[in-house]
Amino acid sequence: MSITIKNAADITAMRVAGRLAGEVLDILTPHVRPGITTNELDRIAHDHMVQVQGCVPAPLNYAPPGYTPYPKSICTSINHQVCHGIPNDRPLKNGDIVNCDITVIKDGWHGDTSRMFVVGEGSIAAKRLCQLTYEAMWKGIVKVRPGARLGDIGHAIQTFAEGHGLSVVREFCGHGIGRKFHEEPQVLHYGRPGTLDELKPGMIFTIEPMINAGRRDIKEAGDGWTIVTKDRSLSAQWEHMVLVTETGYEVLTLSEGSPPIPAFVAGAAA
């Protein structure tokens, strides 16, 4: 499959989808506290997407080959869960960390983003992992410009994470996105600079590193979807959807409630 280049109308539609996805995370933020269940977060997100935004929750009943249909409207991955955690009735506890992964479909276009939350008072180690994973994502984002290569993104993320004693999950990656949930290219979060596909204006893809406090090894938890760390170490993930512009990049999933952009990003966007 080839990489689709979005035209001006496509990009306008993707800006809307990205903004709406970010807005769902903002809506969830005040609710992520000790005692709430991830099922309740799923309900809040679903109702906002469907009733307020007029969107379709992309994960609901999503069934790639070999998978059973995903049963919820968002993914919620807690503590040692790496990704694709299924919301349930277990209350969140003080000190948990949770990733909420949102994908909306608006007028046929997908907006995809995720954010880490520390529930109540998190440990220093948990907060450090979440912050460094956020910075790792941005280390990759600032490499995006025409003429750069996908390997530049992965290399920047990997060297930053491993330089802080963390490990990068390799079995899952970012992806092209548009009218389809997952398109080419695959965006690896590790690699060598100057390798893989060249970035061109009009490409849109996600950058979504999954970073573990322990070893990078993972396994499937037994429900057909949830991925966990083999050593049960904490795992964090952040995700933004990025457009390659004529001179650099534009992050399409920023919202009013997005965390502050790291200081090293200043001046890097175009």
- Of 83, 119, 113, 108, nearest to 23 (Cα)? 113
Q: Is 141 left (phi over 0), alpha (psi -120 to 50) or beta?
A: alpha
Domain-located, residue 121: yes
Q: Which two tokens stand for residue 262?
A: 């790291």
In this structure, is residue 157 part of a structural domain? yes
Residue 216 gets which letter from DSSP?
S
**pLDDT value of residue 1:** 61
Q: 125-161 b/e with 16+ CB inside 10 Å = b?
A: ebebbbbbbbbbbbbbbbbbbbebbbbbbbbbbbebb
118 in any annotated domain: yes
- Domain count of the chain? 1
Residue 270's pLDDT is: 45
Q: Note whether residue 270 is domain-resident.
A: no
Determine the pLDDT at residue 219. 97
Write out residues in the chain with pLDDT < 70, as ranges: 1, 267-270
> Beta partners for 229?
218
Residue 31: partners with Cβ closer than 8 Å, 6 or more residues away: 40, 41, 44
Residue 268: the pLDDT is 52
Give one DSSP letter per residue of 249-263, joined into a string.
Answer: EEETT--TTSPPPPG
CATH of the domain at 225: 3.90.230.10
Q: How many helices (H) and strands (E) does the chain have?
A: 4, 15
Residue 265 lies in a domain: no
In a domain, 259, yes or no: no
In 3D, which of 78, 107, 109 has the Cα closest to residue 94?
Answer: 78
- Answering whether pTM is above 0.75, one says yes
Whether residue 76 is contained in a domain is answered as yes
Structural domain including 164 reads: 8-253
